[in-house]
Amino acid sequence: MAGAAQAAGIPAAAISPTPAVETTPGVREYWIAARNRRWQVSPTGFDDWRGRRVRRQAFNALTYVATEPGFGADLPPGLIGDNRGIPGPVLRGHPGDEIVVHFRNEDTRMRRPHTMHPHGVRYAPEFDGSFMGRYTPPGGAVKPGQTFTYRWQVVEESIGVWPYHDHGEFEMDSTEAGLFGAIVITPRDERPADAEATIWFHHFNPGVTGFNRTVSAINGYAFAGNTPTVRVKAGQEVAFNVLTLGSEIHTFHIHGHRWLGRHGRPEDNPLFGPAEGLRARFREDAPGRWLYHCHVMEHMHHGMVGYYVVDA
């Protein structure tokens, strides 16, 4: 599956085309661990867009990682999104499905409780994945070494792009450190796009990283040449799933492109805020190398920019 996804035109850093394991009809089952990882935000040490060197800085991140059933080997990059760190794996479903997530807390560094809290789906309170003070259920405080199974129902109103994230007692630190991912719900009869990218706009703040300033990032990386380069072919049906968490407002802009937005009107720079997601889908007809980025100028110039390459 990974090779087929890469052949569709998007590098492993950005692809997310493959559905979950469907163990029984209508049940999509995942095994996901929260895990520590040393994370490099600008591994090339270079901003390819502005032609300048940037600092190579690493910090102690937290990541959601998908594994084989029973918490076996990690699923390879490309099979379920990137699956190498930030963001976490893409969870998928159609109305009528049940999403079952077996979650294990493998935080051996901070040794804090963590959770998985979903947006966009229906669930009973015990599967909310949220810290509730003295009313916290087991799924709202999964301690290191423990496992909890969440069950979420996909309904018609779930169609869209939604975040999931840690909503435990230390959610601000853990989400900024990388514990977030996307839920993509599509109609059962919708033809899959030929190429699809899931893109997160987010920030790494000094209180989490220890850096001397905030880093504006896409999928855990900062500055073009480090952020995901999305590569497609002219004539393909292309879909972007775009999300954010944190405290900032963002826009999503692809140079030279527009699509029908949430209100059925053409747009090329939609505004969205914390814990929101949007989906842009269009047939590609503009070969060349383009920029995609957040159009908040400070975010863009501090690293929230990447390349979109359309091969003829």
Q: Binning pLDDT at 50, 70 and 90, where does residue 262 land?
A: confident
CA separation, residue 246 to residues 200, 202, 207 (Å): 11, 7, 13
pLDDT in tens, 85-142: 899 999 999 999 999 999 999 999 989 999 999 999 999 999 999 999 999 999 999 9
- Report pLDDT for 77: 75
pLDDT at 20 over 80: no
Structure tokens at 18: 């493959």
**Nearest residue to 105 (alpha-carbon basis) of 144, 67, 66:** 144
pLDDT at 1 over 90: no
Concatenate the DSSP letters of all residues of 220-267 into one string: TB-STTTS--EEEETT-EEEEEEEE-SS--EE-EETT--EE-TTSSEE
pTM, two decimals, is 0.91
**Angle, vertex CA 203, rays to CA 152 and CA 38, nearest 5:** 85
Looking at beta carbons, which pairs linking 122-130 to residues 24 or more positions away fall under 8 Å?
122/152, 122/153, 122/154, 122/155, 122/158, 123/150, 123/151, 123/152, 123/153, 124/151, 127/151, 127/152, 128/167, 129/167, 129/168, 130/167, 130/168
Q: What is the share, in percent, of the chain residues with pLDDT greater than 90?
A: 86
- Report pLDDT for 296: 96
- Report pLDDT for 22: 54
Q: Binning pLDDT at 50, 70 and 90, where does residue 8 land?
A: very low
Structure tokens at 231: 């590569």
- What whole-number distance in Å separates Cα of residue 85 and Cα of residue 35? 9
pLDDT in tens, 169-196: 999 999 999 999 999 999 999 999 999 9
- Report pLDDT for 84: 74
pLDDT at 15 over 90: no
Higher-confidence position of 274 and 15: 274
Report, as an integer, the average pLDDT of 39-48.
96
Report, as an integer, the average pLDDT of 280-301.
96
pLDDT in tens, 142-163: 999 999 999 999 999 999 999 9
Report, as an integer, the average pLDDT of 23-31.
82
What the chain holds in terms of domains, given with CATH numbers, is: 2-311 (2.60.40.420)
What residue type is assigned to position 74 of the chain? Answer: D
Report, as an integer, the average pLDDT of 56-67.
95
pLDDT at 223 over 50: yes
pLDDT at 35 over 90: yes
Give residues with Cβ within 8 angstroms of 162, minimum separation 6. 118, 119, 120, 121, 182, 183, 184, 185, 243, 277
Sequence length of the chain is 312
